[in-house]
Amino acid sequence: MNFTPIIKEVGRGIRGARGLDAVAAKTAFAALLEGEVSDIQLGAWWLAMRIKGETPEELAAFVDAMHGTLAFRIKTDRPVAVLACYNGARQLPNLTPLLAWALAQLGMRVLLHGVTQDATRVTTHDLFAALNFPIAESAENTERALNERGMAFTPLDALHPKLAALISNRWRIGVRSTPHTVTKLLLPIDGPSVRVIALTHGDYIERMGAYISTQPDAKALVFRGCEGEPVLHPKRAVSVGIFENETSHMHDWPGVTVHDLPDNCEIATTVAYIESVIQGARPMPPWIDWLARHVHLLSYGTYSAKN
């Protein structure tokens, strides 16, 4: 593909850059997924999009291209919470596996997707493996885990190898960009679902909300996650956007003044903490319980602005 016209449109800086129309955006992202773009043009596009940001129209087209090349989809007749896990922890313990377990205890099915390793952080995949929670790399195994255990972590390498290869360029270029935003919208579910989407910056949250608000029948919670993972920060007040059928409203997690979290995010320490909650030796952290209840309410169509 001749990518030069694409870069000329998006690479004019934060004020001069223009958004691509839907056809051009979908074609461009498909070419990126297929590896049809040279390294130098990939790098130019990567940084240009990080500076410019995605328009709702571009984001919708990128998501369409992504979903068109999924390795497999999961069929379900029960609501599935879909958690995107691409950041990991480097300070506080990563309690995403505990949120998945809490949702499963409420009778939900929970599909988590993400990276399998990050040399600088503790990933959700690391913790699932250490906790002996189900990790599934095929449609059959994922559906079995959802039915039998209520949850499954499916690596992006298995779910969408082309997208996994694309976002891995982060390590060569040095920063994340549009592919990471698009990946958090991945929805490999045929059936009812709700996406739990955590981001790291306010402007990304606005863009994501603008996109989701245009999608009929979409359900999602969007918020600034704890180090980017799909859980709330215990001590920070967090505004959570609730999106349902092209409507939206905000709910605020107020934060807590004290908590009993360990002072590091090491795998063994985090696993011990999560297991102590599962075994009833300590209560469910209130920020995990709060988020689980809101996800459950939205999933089963009983949500309202009063909840």
Q: What's at 263, amino acid-wise?
A: D
Count CA within 13 A, CB hemisphere, residue 140.
0
* Residue 50, burial from CB neighbour count under 10 angstroms (0-12, 13-18, 19+): middle
- Across the chain, mean pLDDT equals 93
Going by their DSSP bridges, the two strands 189-190 and 247-253 should be labelled as: unpaired
The answer to whether 158 and 137 are in contact (CB under 8 A) is: yes
Angle of CA points 80, 84, 87, to nearest 5°: 155
The residue among 213 and 306 whose pLDDT is bigger is: 213
Mean pLDDT over 59-70 rounds to 97
- Residue 303 scores a pLDDT above 70: no
- Residue 174 scores a pLDDT above 90: yes
CA 255 – CA 149 distance, rounded (Å): 30
CA 256 – CA 279 distance, rounded (Å): 23
Mean pLDDT over 165-187 rounds to 95
Say how many C-beta atoms besides its own lie within 10 A of residue 118's C-beta. Answer: 18
pLDDT band of residue 216 (cuts 50, 70, 90) is confident
Go through the domains of the chain in sequence order and give each one's CATH number: 4-67 (1.20.970.10), 74-299 (3.40.1030.10)
Provide the token pair at 52.
Answer: 């410019």
Backbone dihedral region of 228: left (phi > 0), alpha (psi from -120 to 50 degrees) or beta? left
Handedness of CA 18, 22, 28, 29 (dihedral sign): positive
Mean pLDDT over 77-100 rounds to 95
Q: Could you tell me the pTM of the whole model?
A: 0.94
Provide the token pair at 122.
Answer: 């503790």
User: Tell me, what's the pLDDT at 65?
Assistant: 98
Strand partners, 194: 81
pLDDT tens-digit series, residues 283-292: 999 999 999 9
- Residue 306 scores a pLDDT above 70: no
Task: Write the CA distances from 213 to 115, 121, 171, 248, 306, integer angstroms.
Answer: 27, 32, 32, 7, 20
CA 232 – CA 140 distance, rounded (Å): 31
